[in-house]
Amino acid sequence: MTRLLKVDDSNRSDHWYLTAEDRCYYFYEYTAHKGFAFSKVNSFIANLKKPPSQRQEGHYRYKGVAIQEAAGLLRGVLNKSPGLLTTATLVPIPPSKPADHPDYDDRMEQVVKEACHGLQIDARCLIAQDQAYEASHLQGEGGSRIKPAELQALYSLVAPKPRGTVILIDDVLTTGAHFVAAKAAILAEYPAAQVAGIFLARRAIPAPTDDALAIET
């Protein structure tokens, strides 16, 4: 089984919005200085992120394969830590585009749904986002990238109240902005909640030159 790894003092500086208070876990690690070129992990992530506008193209079917693989990884965690089934709410990080947008991509919702299939667990879109913003993989890693506070302003929580532990699920951990914003939105309403994040992959070592290719949506 693919093991879950922790963001800790040895790698947290790759994700500059995260602090030592943030509990984040991931399965894979990759660098993508020149786009997604060679490694298995890079193509897994690239397939998962194929934009819905390519739906008609033959290679789009790999997106479905990647969603299944991602669901398998997450299911492995639930099998290993069955306590989560009764104590946690699993929440996909909302996509960058709202449901009425042509590029709306609910891949993480699909991953979570598939991973929890047949299980008695509270898994749902606790966080709603009503307004589009540019997917951050289309922006630079620097100033143009959306900040956690700006993101949090776009988020609203959907009733009912989550369980004591909330696990946010996202595909790629880059700066950590989405996690930090979602966590803040949850704590603002439910200060006693314990929030953690599980990511399919984390981007190790920010690219020095190709920052436009950094990815996160």
Taking CB under 8 A as the rule, does residue 119 contact another protein?
Answer: no
Q: 174, 182, 123: which is closest to 149 by C-alpha?
A: 182
Coil, helix or strand at residue 85? helix
Q: Which is nearer to another protein, 62 or 133 (CB)?
A: 62
Among left, alpha and beta (phi > 0; psi -120 to 50; other), residue 75 is alpha
The encoded tokens of residue 46 equal 């690239």
Taking CB under 8 A as the rule, does residue 83 contact another protein?
Answer: yes
For 187, the enclosing helix (H) or strand (E) is helix 177-189
Among 99, 153, 188, 205, binds another protein (CB under 8 A): 205
> Is 90:119 a contact under the CB 8 Å cutoff?
no
Size of the site for another protein (CB under 8 A): 45
| Footprint (CB under 8 A) of another protein, residues 26-55 | 27-34, 37-42
CB of 191 vs another protein, minimal distance in Å: 11
For 200, the enclosing helix (H) or strand (E) is strand 194-203
Q: Which is nearer to another protein, 5 or 132 (CB)?
A: 5
Provide the binding-site residues for another protein, judged by CB under 8 A. Answer: 2-6, 8-11, 13-14, 23, 25, 27-34, 37-42, 77, 80-81, 83-84, 86-88, 164-165, 194, 196, 204-209
